[in-house]
Structure formats: C-alpha cells, structure tokens
Structure 1
C-alpha cells in the first residue's frame, strides 16, 4: 500500500516539476524581453527629447543669425517664433526636472 502511494506521488510530481520548470523558464524569458523593450522605449524617448532640443537650438541660432543681417527685413513672425521656441524649451526643461524630482522622491 505504501509503495503505491509513493508511485502515485512520483507519477504526479515528476511531470508537475518538469512543467513548472518549463513555465518558470518561459516567464523569466518573457520578463527579460519586456525589460529590454522598456529600456529601448526609454532610450527612444530620450532621443526624441534630444532631437527636439537640437531642432529648437538650430531654429534659435538661425533666427538670431538672420536678425543680424542688415538687409533681411525680419517680420514679427520670426521674432514671435523665436520667443515661442524659447518658451517651449523652458517649459519642457521644467517638466523634465519635475518628473526627475518625482522619480527620486
């Protein structure tokens, strides 16, 4: 009777252990992939912010250079666009600083 119990326990336990190991391995692999995707998405966000900052810097430099040309009659649109770009740049910087503080605290 006792040997039958052990036989039943082994017959049920071995496949369960094997399946549990396989499922655990698959879950770890999926979690690792999700972490890699999250890191890639964060990197993409960083490059987007850097690209926006580079575009604003280029626009500012161009507007300032054109404004110095005596024959270039700059209209109010360029000056307004320069002010707007600078305003947005500072708002973005403030937002990112706020997010950094929230992440730290």
Structure 2
C-alpha cells in the first residue's frame, strides 16, 4: 500500500463523522460474559479463555492496579512477556480510567 494514499481505498459511503455514542468496549465484554459466559473470547497459544474468565481476569488485574493508587488520568507503563497479561493490564487500566 502506498503510504501517501492511506485511506484512498476506503469506500465512499463511510459516514463523515462517528456516531455520537459508541458502545463502550468493556460494557460489550461484560454483556458477552453475561449472555454467553462459556463462549471463547481469547485464544492464547493453545489455551482458550471464555468471556466469563476473561472478564474475571480483567477485574482481578484492575483490583491489583488499584492498589498502586492509580486515578483517572494517571499514566502507567505496562510490560508483560505474555500477550494475554498485556491485554488484561490494558483493559484493566481502561476499567480504572487510566
């Protein structure tokens, strides 16, 4: 793809503006966890993680991050060797508003 023409391939019918209210990603995750808790949310290597487990893990990491007294607007540097843990930390930080 030519870097100078990024977006040139986009269809013309895309809306000019985003909707005023986009669904909250974490709310969507919780809705999936309630409606289909055993459905696969994440595949981490050979391990399949259900929506219920994924949301539970996010909440656990959020509680742990909360012990560091992070408040909305705080900055945090997150580094994990595991991609799954990295995503948990990102989503947990979102949950705390960080």
Same fold (TM over 0.5): no
Structure in which a larger fraction of residues adopt helix: 1
Say which one has the larger Rg: 1
Structure in which a larger fraction of residues adopt strand: 2
| Higher relative contact order, structure no. (Cα contacts within 8 Å, ≥ 6 residues apart) | 2
